[in-house]
């Protein structure tokens, strides 16, 4: 893998779209890996008691997964120099083998000085945006 060159991108360029699946097992795995054991991410009873339809995905699991559309494309995942998102809607994860999926698209929104590019990312679950203002800035090769 080599870092994508700025000469190969232009404003409006779409990165290869991706679809990610979350199952209950993914939530448990992320809880363990991140240390975020908030009970609403693994206990159905408590999640429903606080008004959620079921356990929900960690916002940071969603954010961390969605950036793969960039890290899988960039050639050097260490060149994501800024990444931000707003958590707008929770993602309920059903107790099924199929889980639930998120459709992710991304495009180059702006080219900056020093071979940097601004990428805007869209994450859709059940036709609703789950992360808003999701933006990455990447360092590209000359």
Partner 1 sequence: MAINQEFIGRTYPPTEAYSVGREKIREFAKALGETSPCFFDVESARELGYPDVIAPPTFAIVITMQAGGQVVHDPELGLDYTRVVHGEQRFVQHRPIFAGDEITSTVSVDSIRSAAGNDMITVKTLVHAADGELVSTVFSLLVSRGVGEAS
Number of residues that bind partner 1 (CB under 8 A): 33
Identify whether the C-beta of residue 38 lies closer than 8 Å to the C-beta of residue 54.
Answer: no
Give the Cα separation of 78 and 127 in Å (integer). 31
- Name which of residues 52 to 71 contact partner 1 (CB under 8 A): 59-61, 63-65, 67-68, 71
In 3D space, the residue among 78, 35, 82, 80 whose CA is nearest the CA of residue 58 turns out to be: 35
81-113 burial, b for 16+ CB within 10 Å, e for fewer?
Answer: eebebeeebbbbbeeeeebbebebebebbeeee
- Choose between 71 and 100: whose C-beta lies nearer to partner 1: 71
Least distance to partner 1 from the beta carbon of 81, Å?
A: 5
Least distance to partner 1 from the beta carbon of 100, Å?
A: 14
- Choose between 61 and 140: whose C-beta lies nearer to partner 1: 61
Least distance to partner 1 from the beta carbon of 67, Å?
A: 5
- Choose between 83 and 108: whose C-beta lies nearer to partner 1: 83
The residues near 81 (Cβ < 8 Å, ≥ 6 apart) are 116, 137, 138, 139
Out of 7, 11, 29, 49, the only residue in the binding site for partner 1 (CB under 8 A) is 29
Out of 42, 87, 92, 107, the only residue in the binding site for partner 1 (CB under 8 A) is 87
Bridge partners of 106, per DSSP, are 121
- Choose between 41 and 108: whose C-beta lies nearer to partner 1: 41
Give the Cα separation of 70 and 90 in Å (integer). 22
Binding footprint of partner 1 on the chain (CB under 8 A) = 1, 20, 26, 29-30, 32-36, 59-61, 63-65, 67-68, 71-72, 76-78, 80-87, 133, 136
């Amino acid at each position: 893998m080599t870092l994508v060159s700025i000469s190969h991108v232009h404003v409006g360029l779409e990165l290869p779209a991706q679809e990610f699946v979350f199952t209950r097992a993914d939530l448990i795995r992320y809880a363990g890996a991140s240390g975020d054991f908030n009970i609403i991410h693994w206990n159905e009873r408590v999640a429903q008691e606080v008004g959620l339809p079921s356990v929900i995905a960690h916002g940071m699991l969603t954010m961390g997964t969605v950036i793969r559309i960039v890290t899988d494309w960039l050639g050097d995942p260490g060149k994501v120099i800024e990444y931000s998102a707003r958590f707008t809607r929770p993602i309920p994860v059903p107790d099924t083998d199929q889980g639930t999926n998120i459709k992710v698209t991304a495009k180059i929104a702006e080219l900056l000085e020093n071979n940097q590019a601004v990428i805007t990312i869209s994450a859709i679950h059940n036709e609703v945006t789950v992360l808003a203002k999701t933006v990455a800035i990447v360092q590209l090769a000359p």
